[in-house]
Amino acid sequence: MSDRLQPAAPSVTAALARGLLVLSGSALVYAVSAGGLVSSGRRLELLVAAVVVVGGCVWAAVVRPGWVPAILLLLASLTPYHLSFVGKTPFGVVTVTGALGTATIGVLLLRHGPGRLHVLRGPEVAALAAWVAVLTASALLGGDLRDGVNQVRLIAVAMPLAYVAGRLVADLDPRATRRVAAVAGVVAVLAILEQLTRFSLYDVVPSAGFPLEPPNRAVRSGLVRVRLGYYHGSTLGTVLAVAAPLVVLAVRRRGGAALRWVVPALLVALLFTVTFQVWVASAVALAILGVGLKRLRVSLVALVLATGVVVAAGAVPAVNELIDNRLNPTGSHADEYAYRAQLWPAAFRRAADGPLLGEGPGQFNQLGITGTVRNVPVRLVDDNTFTTSLVETGYPGVLALLLALGLVARRMLANPSREHAWAGLGALAAWMVMALSVEVLAGDQALLPCWLLLGMLSHHRTDETV
């Protein structure tokens, strides 16, 4: 009998993966049961669906790793925010995205990582790990151990582990990029349908009996700020803005013609988030792509001209209103600018007066930090990732985060594929632009998909076959 026909001996990692599959399924059953989701017959289907989904994700991690990022992106986008809380650990609440990410990424790294350790290494990976170490120290010394450790757990899975998992998937299966692009197109189409039909995924599930009530739908000048399963349109916009360069990359590479429909769908979905910061982040990502890729510049110029015509004609009043409010703020819009401007001096003051490693992860909104708008004291919230990190982890924490992001950018730029390099830089820039007006580290529903995609874009491959 030839070697090819002989059955392969089971590996230790395969055995560990199977064991983790059983444990994760059991843990999910316990968490869902403890959360009361099977208190009545009408919720039994949620338990069955949850077990099937987790089992399918873990199976994909073992047998079809190239599908993992696309699956996690789709599930994160379609799971309504208030349904996303599935149980508790000693340290805090576990979300659907966090549970799926932990189980799936854990199995993926155990099963496929040992033979490709060279893919998982790098200065930026070490810097991300060092940043998590600073977060951990801050959590242990901060004001609320439970919340701090829970936040560290969330970030560790949704950033460093998701990043190396994305790189591993890109090394295992070059076609993974196309699958993610296709799923991003599906997400964009669903967002457009939400705008046109006013149908929301939040309408599918009960509005009570879960850890959180569903957030209210936001409307601006008659346009729904589409969000799918995310908390807000800006959260969906963060994911789509980071995905945009990857979609362009997939379309440009050989075999990408079938994905050309995704680009206009993605642009329309970004428009329908009706969020100025999302538009800026997307524009920055595409501008960086245009700087690096000459053949893309003509398309970008055409897009800019078409956008200018739409704005000048007033075809979409909500767009004109939002742009005018941002460029010429008055009244409450001017107050919003003044409010956000207060975050920086308030953060510097708190960091100077507080502990070396800050107040602990997740504590910003608990501290009662105030600023002044029109000579009236106002309470500040975590509307900026970097000022929040400065307060919560001190200068060591925010500097460690900036160093890690800088090394990720360096890794992107070093890619021998020029189009891959500029796509990675554009995606990272989009995420950082969003971080200036949103606390992107507060939840894993968008953080994990974004860093899976960034990990894929950071992979260096000399063979560009798709």
pLDDT in tens, 371-412: 887 777 888 888 999 999 999 999 999 999 999 999 999 999
Q: How confident is the model at residue 10 (pLDDT cuts 50, 70, 90)?
A: very low
Q: Say if residues 98 and 154 touch (Cβ distance below 8 Å).
A: yes
Q: Is 434 exposed, middle or buried (0-12, 13-18, 19+ CB in 10 A)?
A: buried
Q: Do the domain assignments include residue 7?
A: no
C-alpha R_g of the chain: 22
Q: Do the domain assignments include residue 360?
A: yes
Q: Which two tokens stand for residue 214?
A: 């569903």
For residues 361 and 136, what is the distance between their CA atoms, to the nearest angstrom? 9
Q: Do the domain assignments include residue 374?
A: yes
Q: How confident is the model at residue 332 (pLDDT cuts 50, 70, 90)?
A: low
Answer whether residue 363 shows pLDDT above 90. Answer: yes
Q: Please give the pLDDT value at position 330.
A: 59
**One-letter amino acid of 57:** C
For residues 317 and 315, what is the distance between their CA atoms, to the nearest angstrom? 6
Which among 116, 82, 110 is positioned nearest to 96, based on CA atoms?
A: 82
Q: How confident is the model at residue 413 (pLDDT cuts 50, 70, 90)?
A: very high
Q: How confident is the model at residue 42 (pLDDT cuts 50, 70, 90)?
A: very low
Which among 289, 263, 262, 259 is positioned nearest to 430, based on CA atoms?
A: 289
Q: Do the domain assignments include residue 150?
A: yes
29/111: higher pLDDT: 111
Q: Do the domain assignments include residue 465?
A: no
Percent above pLDDT 90 for the chain: 50
* DSSP for residue 224: E
Does residue 89 sit in helix, strand or coil?
A: strand
For the four alpha carbons of 229, 263, 72 and 287, in that order, the dihedral sign comes to negative
- pLDDT tens readout for residues 95-117: 889 889 999 999 999 999 998 98
Lowest mean pLDDT among 49-53, 67-71, 130-134: 49-53
DSSP H or E run through 371 = strand 370-373
For residues 180 and 111, what is the distance between their CA atoms, to the nearest angstrom? 21
Q: Please give the pLDDT value at position 465.
A: 39
Q: Please give the pLDDT value at position 290.
A: 81
Which among 316, 78, 323, 317 is positioned nearest to 194, based on CA atoms?
A: 78
Lowest mean pLDDT among 6-20, 102-116, 309-323: 6-20
Q: How many domains does the chain have?
A: 1
For the whole model, what pTM was predicted? 0.86
Q: What's the average model confidence in pLDDT over 416-424?
A: 91
Domain that holds residue 137: 12-458
86/6: higher pLDDT: 86
Q: Please give the pLDDT value at position 113.
A: 92
Answer whether residue 304 shows pLDDT above 60. Answer: yes
Answer whether residue 5 shows pLDDT above 80. Answer: no
For residues 45 and 91, what is the distance between their CA atoms, to the nearest angstrom? 27
Q: How confident is the model at residue 26 (pLDDT cuts 50, 70, 90)?
A: low
Q: What's the average model confidence in pLDDT over 127-154?
A: 94
Q: What's the average model confidence in pLDDT over 203-227?
A: 76
Q: Which two tokens stand for residue 146?
A: 């439970």
How many angstroms separate the first and last alpha carbons of the chain?
35
| Sequence-ordered list of residues with C-beta below 8 angstroms from that of 210, at least 6 positions apart, any chain | 82, 83, 85
Answer whether residue 86 shows pLDDT above 80. Answer: no
Q: What's the average model confidence in pLDDT over 335-352?
A: 85
For residues 245 and 268, what is the distance between their CA atoms, to the nearest angstrom? 15
For the four alpha carbons of 132, 137, 140 and 143, in that order, the dihedral sign comes to negative
Q: Which residues pair with 220 in a beta bridge?
A: 223
**One-letter amino acid of 344:** W
For residues 71 and 186, what is the distance between their CA atoms, to the nearest angstrom? 12
Q: Please give the pLDDT value at position 459.
A: 94
Helices and strands (H and E) in the chain: how many: 18, 6
Q: Please give the pLDDT value at position 115.
A: 87
**One-letter amino acid of 241:** A
Q: Please give the pLDDT value at position 126.
A: 97
Answer whether residue 153 shows pLDDT above 50. Answer: yes
The owner of tokens 């606390």 is: 439
Mean residue pLDDT across the chain: 83
Q: Do the domain assignments include residue 57?
A: yes
Answer whether residue 322 shows pLDDT above 60. Answer: yes
The half-sphere exposure of 399 on its side-chain side, counting CA atoms within 13 A, is 7
Q: How confident is the model at residue 15 (pLDDT cuts 50, 70, 90)?
A: low
| Sequence-ordered list of residues with C-beta below 8 angstroms from that of 127, at least 6 positions apart, any chain | 400, 403, 404, 407
Lowest mean pLDDT among 124-128, 161-165, 280-284, 335-339: 335-339
Answer whether residue 314 shows pLDDT above 80. Answer: no
Q: Please give the pLDDT value at position 430.
A: 97
Does residue 255 sit in helix, strand or coil?
A: coil
Query: Measuring CA to CA, how many Å separate 47 from each of 29, 38, 202, 207?
Result: 7, 7, 18, 18
Angle at 439 between CA 82 and CA 71, to 5 degrees: 55
**One-letter amino acid of 184:** A
Q: Do the domain assignments include residue 222?
A: yes
Answer whether residue 139 shows pLDDT above 90. Answer: yes
